[in-house]
């Protein structure tokens, strides 16, 4: 066994997808996809529209159930996972179309990300007894740490609906981060942003990965950003995997170039 091979077997895979297949009424969205995400890396899923990226994220997240294949997360194999179980196990996500409570403040939205971290039950909360005592302060502090981390302090008390699009995206990231996930799934976190906003968001994603040690799987169309921040890139096209490796390797793959330049179809 070579040194590289020995090293490769030592890396810990946080997430492994094996032969995943998803279809809707006979139409295949994803076919026979297998790849692994190493603990602590930023993995990007890229591909043209309709390639099956969001479907795959929904499978990981438990929103869709794969008809074929297996998912292994943190060493445990799952044939099917429900969204609630997924969240409990430490997977959080953001959505392509912002899904926030527009009539609530930034702080309150971030606090909703702490729901699974509460230990008190509803009776204790209603009567402010037992574990509920002091829990609000702890949850508030945890939410404030996320707000500080993502530099959202100036908008802490602002209603989310009044914020510009780029900031709403950041609040959504904050809510996902508030759950203290081991794996963060980001569905087009920079869609619709200008160059400055993209740069800022990229920095936050890298900081989340480096400073908090959170493993990130993201879908992004901006190839420049993807190549700049990712450790690992998986390329999908028409529901199939056509590339999987480090950014430099993927960038030079003839199949990937063909898919992106549109010469293949």
Partner 1 sequence: MATFTDNPQPGTLPQWLQQQARQQGMGIALRHKRLGVWQLRTWGQLAAEVEQLAAALQVRGFVPGASLVIVSRPRPEALIAALAAQWLGGVAVLLDPLEAAASQVTLLRELHGEWVFAEGHEEIQRLRAAGLAPRLLIYADGRGLAQVSQAGDTLAFAQLQQQRSDHRPELQARAERTAFAFYRLGAGQRIEQQRISHAELLQDGRRLVHSEQLGRQDEALAARAFAAGGHARYLLAPWLMAGFRLNFPENLATRDQDRRELGPTLVAGTRATYERLHAQVLARLPAPGSWRRRLVEWALVEHPGALQRHLGYWLIRRPLRDVLGFSRTRAPLLVGEALAPPTLAFFRALAIEVRTWPDPAQWHRPVPWPAPLVNGWIEDNTQPA
Which residues are at the interface with partner 1 (CB under 8 A)? 107, 140-141, 144-145, 147-148, 151, 153-154, 156, 207, 210-211
Q: Which helix (H) or strand (E) holds 30?
A: strand 27-38
Question: Whose Cβ is closer to partner 1: residue 107's or residue 235's?
Answer: 107
Question: Least Å distance between CB 179 and partner 1?
Answer: 18
What is the 3-state secondary structure of 147-193? HHHCCCHHHCCCEHHHCCHHHHHHHHHHHHHHCCCCEEEEECCCCCC
CB 139 within 8 A of CB 114: yes
Question: Considering the complex, what minimum distance in angstroms separates the CB of residue 7 from partner 1?
Answer: 21
C-beta of 141 vs 248, nearer to partner 1: 141
> What's the closest the beta carbon of residue 198 comes to partner 1, in angstroms?
18
Determine the Cα–Cα distance for residues 92 and 116; give it in Å rounded to an integer: 11
Nearer to partner 1, 72 or 156 (CB): 156
Phi, psi of 222 (to 5 degrees): -80, 100
**134 vs 254, beta carbon nearer partner 1:** 134
Q: Which is nearer to partner 1, 96 or 158 (CB)?
A: 158
The secondary structure of residue 10, as a DSSP letter, is H
In angstroms, what is the minimal distance from the CB of 16 to partner 1?
A: 27
Radius of gyration of the chain (CA): 19
Structural contact between residues 190 and 197, judged by C-beta atoms closer than 8 angstroms = yes
Q: How many CB atoms lie within 10 A of CB 47?
A: 24
Q: Report the nearest approach of partner 1 to the CB of residue 104 (Å).
A: 16
Query: Nearest approach, Cβ of 204 to partner 1 (angstroms)?
Result: 11
- 42-46 and 232-237 strand pairing: parallel
Identity of the residue, 118 or 156, whose beta carbon is nearer to partner 1 in the bound complex: 156
């Amino acid at each position: 066994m070579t040194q590289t091979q020995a090293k490769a077997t030592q890396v810990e895979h946080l997430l492994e997808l094996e032969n995943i297949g998803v279809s809707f009424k006979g139409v295949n969205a994803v076919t026979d996809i297998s790849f692994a995400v190493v603990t602590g890396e930023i993995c990007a899923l890229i591909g043209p529209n309709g390639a099956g990226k969001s479907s795959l994220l929904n499978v990981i997240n438990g929103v869709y159930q794969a008809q074929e294949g297996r998912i292994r997360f943190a060493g445990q194999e799952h044939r099917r996972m429900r969204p609630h179980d997924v969240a409990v196990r430490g997977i959080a996500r953001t959505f392509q179309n912002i899904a926030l409570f527009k009539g609530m403040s930034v702080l309150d939205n971030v606090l909703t990300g702490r729901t699974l971290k509460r230990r008190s039950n509803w009776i204790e909360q209603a009567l402010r007894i037992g574990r509920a005592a002091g829990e609000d302060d702890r949850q508030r502090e945890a939410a404030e740490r996320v707000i500080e981390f993502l530099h959202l302090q100036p908008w802490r008390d602002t209603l989310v609906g009044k914020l510009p699009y780029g900031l709403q995206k950041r609040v959504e990231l904050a809510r996902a981060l508030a759950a203290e996930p081991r794996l963060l799934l980001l569905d087009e976190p920079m869609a619709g942003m200008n160059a400055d906003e993209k740069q800022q968001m990229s920095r936050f994603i890298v900081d989340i990965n480096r400073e908090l040690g959170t493993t990130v799987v993201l879908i992004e169309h901006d190839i420049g950003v993807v190549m700049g921040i990712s450790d690992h890139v998986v390329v999908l096209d028409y529901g199939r995997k056509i590339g999987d490796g480090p950014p430099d390797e993927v960038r030079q793959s003839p199949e990937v170039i063909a898919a992106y330049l549109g010469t293949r179809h």
